[in-house]
Amino acid sequence: RMPASAPAADGRQRASAAFSLSFLSLVFSVTAFGSSHWCEGTRKVAKPFCKGQSNGDHCIRFNSPDANNSNAVQYIWETGDDKFVERRFHAGIWYSCEEIVDEGDEKCRSFISLTPATDRGVLWLSIVAELLYIILLLTGAILMAVEMFYYSTVIDGLKINAFSAVVTVLAGLLGMVAHMMYTTVFQMTVNLGPEDWRPHTWDYGWSYGLAWASFACCMAAAVTTINKYTKTILEFKHKRKTLERSLKIKYKFPDH
């Protein structure tokens, strides 16, 4: 027979695992939400004319001895793709940044202003869903912490357990919808956004992966919580049946 403390220890382990996963999911989601590396890539930009003695690869060279003389004929050496330079950029929910090659710095713009007007509503829905996702994750983590550290009756523990499971599942669904909406908006912005922003090549960045890792941790926490709740209910039923069986035996064969 299992010792009486074994189910309780197993329950504590499951509660601890669910809380750890939920907390990890919260950290991942907050980090991803505030970063601008959901998507990364390059833009093809026409090279500026070289100034002064500059003969680098990031500007167009010409053979005129007098650069300021508008009457002089300028023979540009670069043709085709040589006339363009690739600039790296990264974009998130809030803003998009592009490197300035000569200065080694970045120029940032609001991503909301870059989004086509027809898709701006979807982006705002995505932002609201992300915020609700974070709020529900925080609520779920607090409930799991209360269940772990607040010693109450088993019935109260079950109620908290059930509520935290529902909240975490809802958070996961909201997170999934939010990430998918942002993906759709970004792809539409790539196709229909401003000409001076559209990327030449792009791919998803580390923040995007972190957002989906947050969703995976959230669903794992929900499954662990539901599993703990189900196991506790089954243990209750088993104990009740055992008690009923022992009472029947006691009434059939009373002590003399």
Both tokens of 123, joined, read: 């982006």
**What mean pLDDT is reported for the chain?**
79
What pLDDT was estimated at residue 175? 93
CB 55 within 8 A of CB 61: yes
Over residues 15-30, the pLDDT tens digits come to: 788 889 999 999 999 9
Examine the pLDDT at 47 and tell me if it is beyond 50: yes
Instruction: Calculate mean pLDDT across residues 45-63.
Output: 59
The domain ranges of the chain are 10-49+81-234
Between 60 and 117, residue with greater pLDDT: 117
Predicted TM-score (pTM) of this structure: 0.75
Residue 183 banded pLDDT, cuts 50, 70, 90:
very high
From 101, 104, 99, 106, select the one nearest 56 (Cα to Cα). 101
- Only one residue has tokens 């669904």, namely 173
CATH architecture assignment, domain 10-49+81-234: Up-down Bundle (1.20)
* Distances in whole angstroms, Cα of residue 39 to Cα of each of 84, 182, 244: 22, 11, 61
Over residues 80-111, the pLDDT tens digits come to: 555 667 788 899 999 999 887 666 678 888 99
3-state secondary structure (DSSP) of residue 99? strand
Examine the pLDDT at 45 and tell me if it is beyond 80: no
Q: What strands lie across the sheet with 84-91, from one edge to the other?
A: 105-110, 95-100, 84-91, 39-46, 201-204
In sequence order, the β-bridge partners of residue 86 are 44
What pLDDT was estimated at residue 87? 82
Percent of the chain predicted with pLDDT > 70: 68
